[in-house]
Amino acid sequence: MTTALALPSTEEEIWRYSRINELDMSKFASGKLTTTVEGGEGVQLAGAAATALVGAGMHVQPDVFAQLNTDTPDVIALHIGKNKVHTQTVVITHSVDKSGVVAYPRLVIDAAENSEIVVVERFTSADNVHSLVVPVVEVHAEQSARVTYLAINELGKNTWQIGHQVAVGERDSNVRLFTVALGGDYARMRAEVRLVGQGASAQQTALYFADGTQMHDFRTLQSHEAPRTHSDLLFKGAVKDTSKSVYTGLIKITENGTKTEAFQTNRTLTLSRGAWAESVPNLEIETNDVKCSHASTVGPIDDDQRFYLESRGVPPEIAERLVVFGFFDEVIDRLPQSEFLAGIRDKVIAKLGVTK
């Protein structure tokens, strides 16, 4: 079994509102996921070349889980050469096949100058699997590189996930990080972008939907450390039954981040009286001549929208479905094209508990 660890507690601000006090690491033994990689020909590294890239984006371990992943990572490393465009989408699928396992998958994407790549990473497990997945994603985008990363959480209702995403953008690079979170018991993601080169840009987008007793937990950082950088974050979710969600985000602009533009929006629908959501946006600005905004809303479906539809003969359950779809459309429209997203509306319908 995993040895006793000094786990964080909810008294720490970054773990406030979380379920970390429920975690007993002694219940898990280290193991590996069943993993497949498609479309990685020509960019996937192996052996020492792969492990040498660990740390390309995450220079400091933010907590004990990232440290555990660094100590015993199961590494997939992708390197895209200078001026190269990888035309195939790289699809990585992880499956948790048995209970009592803690696994530490690590994905490193190293994009050289003026390169381009799209990566999809999926996490799946059956509902009867009681395990823990601790993934880390590191992205390093060099000058003018373009990286798109999509994470899809389809874990079963008894699997935990505590993950990190870290992206570093050099001059004039563009990084887009997308998350679709529908599965898991407690699913936490700490998503950070550091824009360290002038003109670098980043987009962070998430769609999440919790039902039953699920909890989705997001902590984000948009760190602007160079002039004329740009970031745009949009997270939208829904909670129903007795499920919960947490979002806390920080836009940080250092004294070097003049003429920065940074935007942060989190909106959550509460679809049941027993559901609960918390949303806390924050700004930390150390310079002038910047443009920033943050917005946060938590609440039920808009009564005016529901009334408008029902007054035109739309049954209440269909009206609710239409309003939820309209709410999510802004996020879905931003997501990269992927065959794995084709059924996203069907999965949302299943969460709503209505029949097509």
What is the pLDDT at residue 4?
A: 56
Residue 356 pLDDT > 50: no
Which amino acid does the sequence have at 144? S
pLDDT-derived band at 354 (thresholds 50, 70, 90) equals: low
* Residue 241 pLDDT grade (very low, low, confident, very high; cuts 50, 70, 90): very high
The answer to whether 187 and 181 have CB atoms below 8 angstroms apart is yes
The percent of residues in the chain predicted with pLDDT above 70, rounded, is: 98
Does pLDDT of 325 surpass 90? no
Token pair listed for 30: 């280290």
Mean local confidence (pLDDT), 212-222 = 97
340 pLDDT exceeds 80? no
pTM: 0.94
Question: Which residues share a beta bridge with 181?
Answer: 153, 208
- Rounded percentage of the chain residues whose pLDDT exceeds 90: 77
Q: Which residues of 316-337 are buried (b: 16+ CB within 10 A; e: fewer)?
A: eeebbbebbeebbeebbeebee
Written as one letter, the residue type at 96 is V
How is the chain split into domains, by residue range? 13-301
Residue 184, amino acid? G
Mean pLDDT, the chain, integer: 92
**Gap between the Cα atoms of 1 and 3, Å rounded:** 6
DSSP class per residue in 229-259: -EEEEEEEEEE-TT-EEEEEEEEEE-TT-TT
Per-residue tokens: 267:
């909106």
At 1, is the pLDDT very low, low, confident or very high (cuts 50, 70, 90)?
very low
pLDDT of residue 326: 86
| pLDDT in the model for residue 345 | 74
Locate 175 and state its tokens: 């990084």
HSE (side-chain half, CA atoms, 13 Å) at 317: 7
pLDDT digits (tens, 9 = 90+) for 87-145: 999 999 999 999 999 999 999 999 999 999 999 999 999 999 999 999 999 999 999 99
Cα torsion 207, 120, 229, 197: sign: positive
Across-strand partners of 77? 45, 108
